[in-house]
A and B are shown apart, each in its own frame.
Chain A
């Protein structure tokens, strides 16, 4: 990432302008050629520095009110295989390995599961239990009760 990429990120991380030529508008603001802007953004997209360009829905507003962080205790030596299988399920949005804190926190595999009701989430959890089988030494569901803070992940102005 060079200075120009950083400027592009800070100019676009809160959103694209809702005008007919949004990239031209940003390029004008940064005082660069629109083609250079588009070229840099395409490059960041290819490199995965931009995950995607699009809209983020507020899933609560779309009726997805049951949002559980599911946490699983699986053998460390199997985590890559099991994590990949869990992440491939259509209802899992984020899936990571994270460190345990023994004895109070034995879980090493995290997966966000979203549903329109707790019953729907429970059905999905049953599918995960079937998938993990004997490798699951325990799990818990942590439902969100309240959003206490939500700002985007921002890069500070240079």
Chain B
């Protein structure tokens, strides 16, 4: 990663133009050619420096439903429970965290009823209690990582 890549990452974390030639607009701002921007973006996505590029939808505002859920998984069952939880397509993210509450996953579904149904199914299959922690208030969501 060189300075041009860093500039691309720092300037592309929002406000990508919805115009006919958006890459040209950004390339002009960065003082590189449109072709170079496209090639570098392709590389940054391929080597996973960028995980995604495009519109970020707020699924909740589109009528979907999200929830953060936690399970206290006994360490000897961790692999097995991971397999069960990850097998649900409704599970969008799943993280292991350094805590007694060691498994944290995000459900993304199209309704609240599906959140509850999925968690019930996970409880039945894992025989563990699911702590459903949907957001009650959102104070801030924003990500800007300086490369």
Q: Which residues of B contact A64 (CB under 8 A)?
A: 145
Contact of B16 among A53, A61, A110 (CB under 8 A): A53
State the CA gap A158–B85 with chains docked (Å).
25
State the CA gap A94–B53 with chains docked (Å).
20
Within 8 A of B (CB), among A33-80: 34, 38, 41-42, 44-45, 47-59, 61-62, 64, 69, 79-80
Question: Does A140 count as interface, using CB distance less than 8 angstroms?
Answer: yes
1/0 contact string of B59-91 vs chain A (CB within 8 Å): 101111010101000000000001001100001
CB distance from A9 to the nearest CB of B (A): 6
State the CA gap A132–B23 with chains docked (Å).
43
Contact of B140 among A42, A57, A92 (CB under 8 A): A92
**Interface residue tally of chain B, by bracket?**
35 or more
B57 to A146, Cβ gap below 8 A?
A: no
Question: Does B113 count as interface, using CB distance less than 8 angstroms?
Answer: no
A51 to B95, Cβ gap below 8 A?
A: no
Q: Which residue of A lies closest to B39 (CB)?
A: A18
Contact of A146 among B53, B96, B140, B141 (CB under 8 A): B96
B135 to A96, Cβ gap below 8 A?
A: yes
A144 to B96, Cβ gap below 8 A?
A: yes
Q: Which residue of A lies closest to B87 (CB)?
A: A149
State the CA gap A16–B16 with chains docked (Å).
11
Contact of B54 among A1, A16, A87, A151 (CB under 8 A): A16
A12 to B54, Cβ gap below 8 A?
A: yes
CB distance from B70 to the nearest CB of A (A): 8
Q: Could you list 10 A-B pairs, sorted by A, with CB under 8 Å?
A: A12-B55, A13-B54, A62-B146, A143-B98, A149-B85, A151-B92, A152-B92, A153-B106, A153-B108, A155-B59
B16 to A13, Cβ gap below 8 A?
A: no
Contact of B133 among A58, A83, A98 (CB under 8 A): A98
Question: Does A139 count as interface, using CB distance less than 8 angstroms?
Answer: no
CB distance from B37 to the nearest CB of A (A): 9
Contact of B57 among A51, A92, A93, A110 (CB under 8 A): A51
State the CA gap A2–B97 with chains docked (Å).
39
Q: Which residue of A lies closest to B70 (CB)?
A: A105
A97 to B91, Cβ gap below 8 A?
A: no
1/0 contact string of B30-48 vs chain A (CB within 8 Å): 0000100010011011001
Q: Which residue of A lies closest to B64 (CB)?
A: A155
Q: Which residue of A lies closest to B37 (CB)?
A: A18
A84 to B82, Cβ gap below 8 A?
A: no
B48 to A54, Cβ gap below 8 A?
A: no
CB distance from A25 to the nearest CB of B (A): 11
B15 to A53, Cβ gap below 8 A?
A: yes
